[in-house]
Amino acid sequence: MAARLLYCAAAVSALAVLAILAFLVYFSLPLFQGDQLAALFSWHWRPLQNEFGILPMIAASLALAVSSMLVAYPLALGVCCFAHGLGPDWAARPLLVAVRLMSSVPTVVYGLVAAFSLVPLIRGASSGSGLCWLAALLTLAVLALPTIVLLLDNQFQRLESEIRLTAAALGLTRVQEMLQLTLPLSSRGLVMAAILGFGRALGDTLVPLMLAGNAPQPPLSLLDPMRTLTAHIALVVATDSQSAAYNSLFACGLILFLLTVLVNLGLRRIRTGATAHG
Amino acid sequence: MSVAFAWLSALLVPALLAMVTGFLLRRGLPSLQVALWFGDTPPLAALLHGAPVFDGIWPACLGTLYLVALVALMAVPLGVASGIFLAEYAGGRTKLAFSFCIELLAGIPSILMGLFGFALILFLRRSFAPEANTCLLLSAFCLTLLVLPYLISSTRLAIESLPDALRLTGASLGLSHWQLIRRILLPASAPGIFSGVILAIGRAAEDTAVILMTGVVANAGTPGSLTAKYEALPFHIYYLAAEYQSPAELAQAFATALVLLALTGLLLLAARRLQAGLEIK
Amino acid sequence: MKAAIRVEKLSVSFAGKHVIRHLSLEIASGGPTFLVGRSGSGKTTLLRALNRLNECLPGCATSGQVELRLGEQWVDAYAATTNVENLRRRVGMVFQSPNVLPLSILRNIEMPLKVALSLPADEAEARAEQALREVHLWDEVKDRLSQAASTLSGGQQQRLCLARTLALRPQILLLDEPTASLDFKAAQRIEDLLLELKSRYTLLVVSHSLGQARRIAESLFVLHDGERIEALSKDVFQDRDALFSVMDELI
């Protein structure tokens, strides 16, 4: 009896995913039926002129996610290596505590701080308003850093428990152990952390909304404002516009959902690859 | 060379943390007074007699509190039950299928949860309930979906990490499966489950994207009913940051950020404490 | 008797709890010298104190002196000027359960040579082959050197670990219950191997097995509760009944 109840509970969660997908598809259907689909895939978003191209937003989302990962990932790797041998032993624990504290800061707070410290800085050093790709990129990197560090830390800890004493007994320094053993042997975990971080960056709303300027144009320069899919959804909903804009909203949602699924499948690929060889 | 880079990155972390906290404290601490919460309304009047508060964050605090309470009410039983199911009852294909769905759910960006809630209202308006509108209940529902994967994963992990010896002991005492779970496994994994619950609550308290789409507003007073609009701390911060009219309002944003930070910080601490308790065992 | 290891008033504690207290002993070169005692008497900790491996475990505090004769010179293991990695290469260790690295058979041996000793690839390969021959494993693995070390049997893995240590050209070998996880046949091969190696290395073996001690030990120490150590002469422990009665008293 208990088993049945529990089964139902789990089923709800599974159904939730399907429901979300179903709604997104249902509300995007009008687009597929008309000839509006082609119109969606244009580089111009001008609702007043009936142009609902969302390509700039797709490009912006991808560009922001990739660029923030390029900043966050190496730093996270550095931090984690430091905590696992490249730095002094006493420093590892306080560092990880600091990282956990960083991860507890809400996104909106990071956005707030960046809006009034980073953005004026960029504004002063350039000709724009400061609300741009760069501001969002750096803040997103700071946001993603702790998550990636904790993921990598988990990975390293598991491996270390196996090989620490062996490596020490062979006369390897901790640096040698990290660079020659731990890193190469963790390659799958390293890739997974990168993919997870990318997914996280792709799905964030507040940072691009508050810091990227929200101009629906293709991202050509770091100092230009951009609008991501996530910010676009939040903005269009807030402004009470007509149905056509609404439908494009769900198309955005659908694309975001598909990207999420791709990221997820990529992760599974890597993970099952790992268990096959490991 | 890589050692030097590691040092640089490591130094960056406390530096960033100090900068963010320092900045917040500098800009927000001065405004951290009673007036922050209640504005011009006397606190007791607001608390006891429900006098409306116009310029303070008390309604937002209440809104966040109600939201979190609702989410806890909905998500915890559902999430813990699903976690138990996956850890103890599901086998083979079922387990794989459910795990896949839950992982997918975990990866869905919060804005899509909000969009889902929004779509739900549109759908209801067109069909059963033309009066339907975004509200507290809807937000709580969508937030539940948001935190559900975390709850399920942490419950499942807590139970699965228990040593096999525990299960064998229970079985050898003649306990049925459910008795084993209820009497031995759940108490043993309680710290891990609780810490997962606390983290989920923290996540629900700080989220902005979902509530943005499902009913939060800048001015609604204290939450009247489940189907009313409401205020919340994270949205208050966002709103002030985007639309502040005076330096005082901006300062209020920073002070509110400090309040929210204190809240999530406390929750994180509680979660870690519970987890440490688990590890000692 | 030529001494190879000198321990004086050694105390080791972990998080305040003493495992070894004021222990002093002298171990002759060659051997094998066996160290036996009850579970928890501190045998492994004593062994690990000699190559400073205890320091890798949290909360460790060591006092006292450990001197090892390496290459005709006495080295103070805990001196500030002693390079610990260097020490660990010259004082090799074999663990109780085979701890092959998650790499191929060949890389298990070559990697420490290339990384810790900075040997060029061809020299590393030559040494690897030599070490594998020394433990009589070469013929069994020469056609599968690039396969994962985990595909070897338990006994083969343990010999691989021994080869890996020998490739670093240590002078002293510390073996922590080297045959504890092996079956009878595999254990026998290791024992024969140890008898071969004793002429070239100083061997210190921690063991649970009195039978093994009787079979191959040259000298025997009995450790009590981390505090007392008793040396038994060969005629005592080679005689089965004498050994057991002494053990009964001591432990």
Sheet of strand C33-37: strand arrangement? C91-94, C172-176, C202-206, C33-37, C219-224, C228-232
What is the per-residue pLDDT for A278?
41
Nearest-CA distance B6 → chain A (Å): 4
Point out the residue among B152, B178, B213 whose CB comes nearest to the CB of A13. Answer: B152
Domain extent for C123: 3-250
Nearest-CA distance A164 → chain B (Å): 19
What is the per-residue pLDDT for B244?
84
Point out the residue among A26, A27, A233 whose CB comes nearest to the CB of B111. Answer: A233
Sign of the C-alpha dihedral computed for residues C21, C26, C30 and C33 taken in this order: negative
Summarize pLDDT for B7-28 with one digit per residue, the tens.
Answer: 999 999 999 999 999 999 998 8
DSSP 8-state symbol, C179 = T
pLDDT at A116 over 80: yes
Residues of A in contact with C53 (CB under 8 A): 165, 168-169
What is the per-residue pLDDT for A39?
72
What is the per-residue pLDDT for C55?
87
What separation in angstroms does the CA of B45 have from each of B38, B50, B223, C11? 10, 6, 17, 69
What percent of chain A has a predicted confidence (pLDDT) above 90? 38
Distance CA C240, CA C238 (A): 6
Instruction: For residue C3, report the phi and psi dihedrals to the nearest 5 degrees.
Output: -80, 145
Among A160, A170, A172, the residue to mutate for chain C (most C Cβ within 10 A): A170
A with B: how many residue pairs have Cβ under 8 Å apart? 237
What percent of chain C has a predicted confidence (pLDDT) above 90? 45
pLDDT (average), residues C220-231: 84
pLDDT (average), residues A67-91: 92
DSSP 8-state symbol, C146 = T
C137 token code pair: 């494993």
B7 token code pair: 């040092």
User: When comparing pLDDT for B45 and A151, which is higher?
Assistant: A151
pLDDT (average), residues B60-81: 90
Q: What is the CATH number of the domain that holds C29?
A: 3.40.50.300
Interface pTM (ipTM) of the complex?
Answer: 0.88
Residues of A in contact with C51 (CB under 8 A): 169
User: When comparing pLDDT for B119 and B173, which is higher?
Assistant: B119
A205 touches chain B (CB under 8 A): yes
What is the per-residue pLDDT for B220?
79
B47 token code pair: 């608390």
What is the per-residue pLDDT for B281?
46
Do C116 and C172 form a contact (C-beta atoms < 8 A)? no
User: When comparing pLDDT for B40 and A109, which is higher?
Assistant: A109
What is the per-residue pLDDT for B126?
82
Walk me through the domains of chain A, giving residue ranges and CATH numbers.
27-277 (1.10.3720.10)
b/e code B18-44 from CB counts within 10 Å (16+ = b): eebbebbeebbeebbeebbbbbebebe
Confidence band (pLDDT; 50, 70, 90) for A198?
very high
pLDDT (average), residues A48-72: 88
* Average pLDDT in chain C: 88
Distance CA C111, CA A41 (A): 53
Residues of C in contact with A165 (CB under 8 A): 53, 56, 95, 99
Spatial CB neighbours of B69, under 8 Å, sequence gap ≥ 6:
none
Residues of A in contact with B77 (CB under 8 A): 9
| A106: preceding bond cis by omega (within 30 degrees) | no
Q: Do C115 and A180 touch (CB under 8 A)?
A: yes
Nearest-CA distance A223 → chain C (Å): 45
Residues of B in contact with A98 (CB under 8 A): 13-14, 17
Do C116 and A170 form a contact (C-beta atoms < 8 A)? yes
Point out the residue among C86, C95, C99 whose CB comes nearest to the CB of A171. Answer: C86
Nearest-CA distance B45 → chain A (Å): 31
Distance CA B56, CA B66 (A): 17
Neighboring chains of C (3 or more beta-carbon pairs < 8 A): A
Residues of C in contact with A169 (CB under 8 A): 51, 53, 88, 92-93, 95, 165
Distance CA A15, CA B145 (A): 11
Summarize pLDDT for C142-189 with one digit per residue, the tens.
Answer: 899 999 998 999 899 999 999 999 999 999 999 999 988 888 888 999
Segment (H or E) for A24: helix A2-33
Q: Do A107 and B264 touch (CB under 8 A)?
A: no
Q: Do A172 and C56 touch (CB under 8 A)?
A: no
- Cα-based torsion angle of the residue sequence C228, C229, C235, C239 in order, rounded to the nearest 10 degrees: 60
pLDDT (average), residues C29-33: 88
Kindly report the three-state secondary structure assignment for every residue of B198-264.
Answer: HHHHHHHHHCCHHHHHCCECCCCCCCCCCCCCECCHHHHHHHHHHHCCCHHHHHHHHHHHHHHHHHH
* Average pLDDT in chain A: 86
Distance CA B71, CA B197 (A): 11
What is the per-residue pLDDT for A277?
46
Q: What does chain B look like in DSSP terms, one character per residue?
A: -HHHHHHHHHHHHHHHHHHHHHHHHHHHGGG-SHHHHHTTS-HHHHHHH----SSSSHHHHHHHHHHHHHHHHHHHHHHHHHHHIIIII--HHHHHHHHHHHHHHHHS-HHHHHHHHHHHHHHHHHTT-TT----HHHHHHHHHHHHHHHHHHHHHHHHHTS-HHHHHHHHHTT--HHHHIIIIIHHHHHHHHHHHHHHHHHHHHH--HHHHHTTB-S---S---TTS-B--HHHHHHHHHHH--SHHHHHHHHHHHHHHHHHHHHHHHHHHHHHHHHHH-
What is the per-residue pLDDT for A241?
55
B210 token code pair: 């979902």
Beta bridge partners of C229: C223
Distance CA C28, CA C233 (A): 13
Q: Do B and A make contact, counting contact as 3+ CB pairs within 8 angstroms?
A: yes
Residues of B in contact with A26 (CB under 8 A): 119, 123
Summarize pLDDT for C79-138 with one digit per residue, the tens.
Answer: 989 888 889 889 999 988 888 888 899 999 998 888 888 889 999 999 999 999 999 999
What is the per-residue pLDDT for B110?
93
| Helix runs in A126-186, H state only | 133-169, 174-176, 183-185
Q: Do A82 and B103 touch (CB under 8 A)?
A: no
Do B79 and B151 form a contact (C-beta atoms < 8 A)? yes
Do C125 and C108 form a contact (C-beta atoms < 8 A)? no
Distance CA C204, CA B235 (A): 69
Residues of C in contact with A92 (CB under 8 A): none
Walk me through the domains of chain B, giving residue ranges and CATH numbers.
57-280 (1.10.3720.10)
What is the per-residue pLDDT for B264?
87
Q: Which of A12-21, B201-210, C242-251 has the highest mean pLDDT?
A: B201-210
What is the per-residue pLDDT for C130?
93
Q: Do A172 and C112 touch (CB under 8 A)?
A: yes
Q: Do B and C make contact, counting contact as 3+ CB pairs within 8 angstroms?
A: no
3-state SS class at C99: coil
Number of domains present in the structure of chain C: 1
Residues of B in contact with A199 (CB under 8 A): 107
What is the per-residue pLDDT for C194?
92
Count of CB atoms within 10 A of residue C92's CB? Answer: 25
Whole-structure pTM value: 0.84
pLDDT at B61 over 50: yes
